Amino acid sequence: MEKNRVVSIYTRIKKFNKFCVTLSGLILLFVTFSIFVDVILRYFFNRPSIWVTEVSAYLFLYIIFLGTAYALQQGLHIKVTFIVDRLNAGRKRILNLINAFVSMAFCFVLLWQTSVMTWTAFKKNWVSPTMLNAPYVYIYVIMVFGSLMLFITFLLATILEFKTGETIEGE
Q: Where are the domains of the chain?
A: 3-164
Surface-to-core class of residue 81, CB atoms within 10 Å of its CB (0-12 exposed, 13-18 middle, 19+ buried): exposed
pTM for this entry: 0.86
pLDDT tens digits, 110-155? 999 999 999 999 999 999 998 889 999 999 999 999 999 999 999 9
Distances (CA, A) of 1 to 9, 12, 13, 48, 73: 11, 16, 16, 56, 20
pLDDT tens digits, 48-81? 898 999 999 999 999 999 999 999 999 888 777 7
Between CA 156 and CA 41 the distance in angstroms is 48
The pLDDT-based confidence of 166 (bands split at 50, 70, 90) is low
